[in-house]
Amino acid sequence: MARIRRETAVDRTEAALAGYGTTLPLARGAVAITVAPSAAGSPVGQRLLTLLVNELARMKGVVSVINVDGVASVPVLPGVPLEGTDLESGLAGFVASLNAPAPTADDPYEATIAFGETDAVDVRVAIGDMTTNANIVVAADAWRALLGRYAEYARWEASAPYGAALAAALAAPEVFKRLLLANGLDDSDRRLLTDFAFSSFDYGINEDAGAGPDLYELVLRDLAIVGCGAGGSAALYVLAMQPGLAGAVGLVEPGRHKLSNINRYLMTSASDVHDARHKLASAVNHLARFAPALTPTLHPVEWQMLAEHPWPFLLSTVDTVPARWQIQRRAIAGAEILDAAVNDLFYNVIRVAPGGWCLECKHPFDPDYDLKQRSARWGVDVETVRAWATENVVVNAEMITTLAGTQGKEPDDYAALEGKPFRDIPMLTECGETRLRTDVPSQAPVLPLATTPVGVILAAEIAKRSVAPDAQLANWLGHYLDRAPQRPRVVWRPASASCPRHG
Ligand SMILES: [Zn+2]
């Protein structure tokens, strides 16, 4: 009988790539980034480059090498999350931190960076130089990502990091889409961005993308980040690039790292995941190095286990519906919640505001939610699943036959579950929407391509709450990076009349 095994560093990436009809490693995965001198010596250019390299280097097996040209002997500026005196040594040291001392069976691919000119390129990115033959031209100002012809509006000396971060977060999926093309994986529904401007200040696009005011300092108060996974830590990574960041933040996260977290947690190193360190350790380490005036208070437990929930401002960056209900239900009266979610290359953010959607409007509360999910996946009625869970029955061949039929798979695919107590079966193994391995207690297939932009939007919303409250999101933003990257949507979703939490 097959064993349930530990998740590796590449299971989720493999699952994600299966959705594109391919396997790891990609045959063509060389990315070249050319940085114009005006960008290389500037805070906006350096932050854009650093976050873009961070994302691409984590996609081990998808990106085989990143070649950076134009940064030789350029000093690293304050507010850029790299250690080292110059950009080349800083980037090289960072990329090395993503690799174990040697490749292992459960972490088989390495991130690689090189410097100088190269001809061995599958996708070319230009930061700030519109005259090259690059596939993607990218630039930014304080709040705007500026792609293609909009790069002429760049303001490289801006202090606020949100535009640079958004530019990197939009460039990375464009690199990924072009790598798919370079590997012969065409999809007529997939859309490429070339000329595009997007403002994290007012969410306008192209000519209507608002530049917003620059921001030279930010003092955080009242805020807790609930869930320091890929999205929560991405928000913190972007905030940590804000010059003059000070104050305090509560970090609530019970979990330790798994190997697969290396592929999308922006503050996490190979030693963090191989030693299964606590997720909060990565955050504390990053803040100590790059934002020492921000004081994190650590809560290494689940939100509902806390004795008090005093924060008036909450980031909900958890990955299940019941966890969202818990955040909203236990928050103090009047607390403002920003909720983020991703699915493949789609991301969305809700700001829970008076008169608008709350988290129970989005997911109407149901005490049998978990049972109903399991019932749908196992192909039996809710009462049967309730009895299985209550009696903790041993999974037998008949149960597996029904499960396999419901999931459209062969019973052999679920052989690893036979003989196990029902309550020990990883709930997410049963997920019917995604291509999951049944021998791994895995969750969704993920790349860092949606969790990073969601983190940028959250960071921008946190900054605006202090400096420009009128510009805060009202109240829902959604963006399909593969099918409609040129059409991020912002709409007002009114409170549901049937939701018991209003009126
Ligand atoms: Zn509601």
**How far does the centroid of ligand 1 lie from the alpha carbon of residue 80, in Å?**
40
**How far does the centroid of ligand 1 lie from the alpha carbon of residue 294, in Å?**
33
**How far does the centroid of ligand 1 lie from the alpha carbon of residue 360, in Å?**
5
**How far does the centroid of ligand 1 lie from the alpha carbon of residue 496, in Å?**
6
Task: Give the chain's residues under pLDDT 70.
Answer: 1-5, 426-445, 503
The environment of the single-atom ion ligand 1, i.e. residues with CB closer than 5 A, is 358, 360-361, 499, 501
Contact (CB, 8 A) for 43 and 198 = no
Cα–Cα distance, 183 to 203 (Å, whole number): 33
Closest CA to 314 of 332, 294, 301: 332
Cα–Cα distance, 88 to 256 (Å, whole number): 31
Contact (CB, 8 A) for 227 and 316 = yes
Cα–Cα distance, 39 to 71 (Å, whole number): 9
**How far does the centroid of ligand 1 lie from the alpha carbon of residue 318, in Å?**
18
Contact (CB, 8 A) for 485 and 197 = no
**How far does the centroid of ligand 1 lie from the alpha carbon of residue 152, in Å?**
43
Contacts of residue 115, defined as CB under 8 A and 6 or more positions apart, other chains included, come to: 67, 68, 69, 71, 72, 88, 92
What single-letter DSSP state applies at residue 409? S
**How far does the centroid of ligand 1 lie from the alpha carbon of residue 204, in Å?**
27
SS3 call for 114: strand
SS3 call for 349: strand
**How far does the centroid of ligand 1 lie from the alpha carbon of residue 412, in Å?**
43
The predicted structure's pLDDT at residue 408: 75
Cα–Cα distance, 470 to 230 (Å, whole number): 28
Closest CA to 128 of 191, 62, 41, 233: 41
Cα–Cα distance, 447 to 452 (Å, whole number): 10
SS3 call for 66: strand
Q: At what angle do helices 162-182 and 448-467 cross, to 10 degrees?
A: 160
The predicted structure's pLDDT at residue 319: 84
Closest CA to 68 of 34, 100, 44: 34
Closest CA to 47 of 197, 175, 182, 154: 154
**How far does the centroid of ligand 1 lie from the alpha carbon of residue 327, in Å?**
13
**How far does the centroid of ligand 1 lie from the alpha carbon of residue 361, in Å?**
4
Helix, strand and coil in the chain, % to nearest 5: 35, 20, 45
Contact (CB, 8 A) for 499 and 360 = yes
Closest CA to 33 of 194, 160, 177, 171: 171
Contact (CB, 8 A) for 118 and 32 = yes
Residue 387: both structure tokens together: 């009895």
User: What is each CA distance from 439 to 5, 60, 139, 475, in whole angstroms?
Assistant: 6, 22, 43, 40
**How far does the centroid of ligand 1 lie from the alpha carbon of residue 366, in Å?**
13
List phi, psi (to 5°) of 388.
-60, -45
Neighbours of 390 (CB within 10 A): 10
**How far does the centroid of ligand 1 lie from the alpha carbon of residue 500, in Å?**
7
**How far does the centroid of ligand 1 lie from the alpha carbon of residue 234, in Å?**
27
Question: Identity (one letter) of the amino acid at 195?
Answer: D
The predicted structure's pLDDT at residue 445: 62
Contact (CB, 8 A) for 138 and 145 = yes
- Beta bridge pairs of residue 29: none
User: What is each CA distance from 266 to 130, 142, 240, 459, in whole angstroms?
Assistant: 28, 21, 12, 14
**How far does the centroid of ligand 1 lie from the alpha carbon of residue 375, in Å?**
26
The predicted structure's pLDDT at residue 444: 60
Cα–Cα distance, 48 to 70 (Å, whole number): 14
Cα–Cα distance, 336 to 464 (Å, whole number): 13
**How far does the centroid of ligand 1 lie from the alpha carbon of residue 230, in Å?**
26
- Beta bridge pairs of residue 89: none
Question: Identity (one letter) of the amino acid at 193?
Answer: L
